[in-house]
Structure 1
Amino acid sequence: MRKSFILAGCALATGVAVLAALAMRPQTQSGVALPETVMVAPGQIAFRPLGNFSREGKASTPGALPVEVAGFEIMKYQVSRAEYLACVADGACEDVGTGEGGYAQTMVNWADATAYAAWFSRQTGETWRLPSEPEWQRAAAERQGDAAPDEGELDPGTRMLSQYERGVLLRGSSSPALRPLGGFGENSLGLADLGGNVWEWTDGCMATGRLAADGSIEASEPYCGVRIAGGRHRAAVIDFVRDASVGGCAVGLPPDHLGFRLVREG
């Protein structure tokens, strides 16, 4: 119990410090505060498409491939409730009823996140967008896990159980209770709350395809009615879903919460 109180106190103190820092951010002529960002250097990741693949008529998992990711600039923190409410007040975003406070904006679907990105781009005169899947994975660094490792010749039932168990392991035992911004600390690149309990929308789509006998991808098509959310493990979530914990996760374990952060282009 004492440990829980200490952790809660640390998270609250971190949140207060973050809110103070956010209040001091520079503003645009429209009065919108510019977010703190982190420059992520170019690098290589081992990227595995997430979706439904078959090999010789049986469900299978494609192997991870090396992908080079160009450098990019991304928000240090997830978009907050206060930031999102400014978009709601301007009539450009849906009010999802989460209220105010120094927390990440959750209960948002993919359309909500892209609507905010479009509004924020207009307010700042800059281009802001959701990160690609490879960009998000590169930004997450050590905070992102793979719930679908190479599984050899496992039968479909054993394969699904293996992925479920690995997803549970990656999630750990932390509570689904939201923490203030910054409450999950920073990763090795200086980005906050990646790998916490708020999964983040990307512009990635679930893939469907066919693998060759050697496991390489022979054919693949995106299905963009289902989008990829990054977190401790990736999740494929139907794009109109705001609360995946009660349903709507097409592949993998459902996220505790859905939020987002944006990439600045140029």
Structure 2
Amino acid sequence: MENIYHYLLGVSPKIKDPNYYELLGIEENTQEIAKIEESYRGQIQKLQKFGNNPKYKETILFLKGELRKACHTLSNSTLRIEYDLVLSEEKVEILEKEIQLLYIKGNLHPLEIQYIQGRSREMKISPVRVEKILRSKTKIIPPKGTEGENFWRSQRREEISILFLLISLAFLSIGTYYYFSKSQNLEKRLQMMETRISSKQPKDLPFVSKEKEIHDASSSSLEKNAVALPKNLSEMIYIPEGEFIMGSEKGSEDEQPMRKIHLDAYYIKRYEVTNQEYQEFIKATQHSIPYLPKKEAEPFNWDPLNKTAPEGKAEYPVVLVTWADAMEYCKWLSSRLQKNVSLPTEAQWEKAARGEKAFFYPWGSVQNGSKEYYANFAAGNTRDKDGFPDLAKVGSFPHGASPYGCMDMAGNVSEWCLDSYDKFAYQEIPSMNPLVTKEEASWPWKVLRGGSWHDSEFYLRTTHRNTARYDQNDIRWGFRYVILIK
């Protein structure tokens, strides 16, 4: 019978029923969450190689569930301690059976004791525990000499140290659980903080977050420590390394759970890519023009003969570009600038949009019901209440800037992200620089963020996720890019 753990996950062929550590391919008693999550991602990627084989469809679903349980259990200190205790008892039962097989006339030979000693080290069972098992079941003939007499005694200090460590971890876990059980919901506390800040703003002025003020005051010093940018990219915004809250408990199912994510520093474009900028790409590469043979797309279609954008729309965001088109643009710009240019990951996009305070909208909150002046969207079932029946020139809504100063991250055009779309991604993504990748041939769905001029207020939220095929285009979709530092 085929060993699915070995064939699909690379577990040792000798292991027929792996424990959680063996399933993830890590050492027992591993406590580093980053290492556990990294191993989990690696095992999931192994399974994806067999995704197109119908023979393993149900098996892969089963293994993904087992890997998810393993990662969840070992990443939680309390659950890990409980699991380690159960695992230890299971190993003891296995060792007891082996001892029974070696038991002859109530005695064990010194060579058999040495074998049991080696097995106990291999199974990581404490020497004291093994000694108790042997003394309760057999009459031991110890090895001769000092080594035999001190066989168990020499290792008891290590056993006591491990016991104290487990007790300390248990108390730490109980204290942590008590603290968080008494705390308010994270998002509620963040919104209360946001409300206190916004209440101090003058009512006749647009909302300006405290975080944005801090960023504006320190952006020059931040950029001194960042990589130098070409002069024609002075509009790039530096996003410093650090943590932020990703997701929302109040949003759709695919926005949950809320996660604390750490990102390396990067630059993101202040505005969406414009027709004028995309025109340079078309001219240099002879790439296909943005075009869709539908009546509603006629005002946005480029001239097929001259390969030019609609007249008078040079500073408007380019639309009718697919995810694949946007990737080609980034590839071309990378070569031109000799920089690592890419579409933003979902995490990079969301951090740039909401900052480190988990804002509901890029500007923080809605004041005086005047949300139509913060973004270009379909307000109150009409598309021209904000002054624009469809697209607006980039940067037309300065009051809607994000905490870092990014424009139009709510409304105008929905923006392509680098990630493949996965409804349950937030349950599995790592806490460090997450990116969901799947082969386009087997999974064509990519992520769009930010809402558009055609969408209602609900889609303007910084956490809202949308999806479309990588080879589709639309009058509502555009993009911006990031420049990676590392």
Using the size of structure 2 for normalisation, the TM-score is 0.35
Structure 2: which amino acid aligns with 1:238? R
Alignment correspondent of 1:237 = 468
| 2:383 paired with 1:191 | no
* Residues 199-218 of structure 1 mapped to structure 2, 5 A cutoff: 199-207=414-422
Structure 1: which amino acid aligns with 2:448? A
Is the contact between residue 92 and residue 116 of structure 1 (CA under 8 Å) also seen in structure 2? no
Alignment correspondent of 2:343 = 130
Against the structure 1 CA distance between its residues 187 and 92, is the aligned structure 2 distance closer, same or farther, given a 3 Å change threshold? same
Against the structure 1 CA distance between its residues 188 and 217, is the aligned structure 2 distance closer, same or farther, given a 3 Å change threshold? closer
* Residues 107-256 of structure 1 mapped to structure 2, 5 A cutoff: 107-141=320-354, 142=359, 143=361, 172-173=379-380, 175=383, 177-185=390-398, 186-207=401-422, 223=438, 224-231=443-450, 232=460, 233-243=464-474
Against the structure 1 CA distance between its residues 262 and 217, is the aligned structure 2 distance closer, same or farther, given a 3 Å change threshold? closer
Q: Compute the RMSD of aligned alpha carbons.
A: 3.3
* Residues 96-111 of structure 1 mapped to structure 2, 5 A cutoff: 96=290, 97=302, 98-99=309-310, 100-111=313-324
* Residues 41-60 of structure 1 mapped to structure 2, 5 A cutoff: 41-48=240-247
Is the contact between residue 254 and residue 424 of structure 2 (CA under 8 Å) also seen in structure 1? no
Against the structure 1 CA distance between its residues 108 and 91, is the aligned structure 2 distance closer, same or farther, given a 3 Å change threshold? same
Name the one with the larger helix percent.
Answer: 2
Alignment correspondent of 2:263 = 69
State the identity as a percent: 23
Against the structure 1 CA distance between its residues 222 and 171, is the aligned structure 2 distance closer, same or farther, given a 3 Å change threshold? farther
Report how far residue 123 of structure 1 moved: 1.2
Q: Distance in 2 between matches of 1:61 and 1:198?
A: 20
Report how far residue 62 of structure 1 moved: 4.3
Against the structure 1 CA distance between its residues 228 and 144, is the aligned structure 2 distance closer, same or farther, given a 3 Å change threshold? farther
Is the contact between residue 317 and residue 394 of structure 2 (CA under 8 Å) also seen in structure 1? yes
Is the contact between residue 343 and residue 482 of structure 2 (CA under 8 Å) also seen in structure 1? yes
Against the structure 1 CA distance between its residues 172 and 63, is the aligned structure 2 distance closer, same or farther, given a 3 Å change threshold? farther
Alignment correspondent of 2:4 = none
Structure 1: which amino acid aligns with 2:482? V
Name the one with the larger strand percent.
Answer: 1
Alignment correspondent of 2:235 = 36
Structure 2: which amino acid aligns with 1:63? P
Alignment correspondent of 2:272 = 78
Report how far residue 193 of structure 1 moved: 1.0
Using the size of structure 1 for normalisation, the TM-score is 0.61
Larger radius of gyration: 2
SS in structure 2 of the partner of residue 122 of structure 1: helix
Against the structure 1 CA distance between its residues 236 and 35, is the aligned structure 2 distance closer, same or farther, given a 3 Å change threshold? farther
How many positions carry a matched residue from both structures? Answer: 187
Structure 1: gaps of 5 or more residues? 1-26, 50-58, 146-169, 246-256
Against the structure 1 CA distance between its residues 195 and 188, is the aligned structure 2 distance closer, same or farther, given a 3 Å change threshold? same
Q: Distance in 2 between matches of 1:88 and 1:181?
A: 20
Q: Distance in 2 between matches of 1:67 and 1:171?
A: 32
Report how far residue 70 of structure 1 moved: 2.2
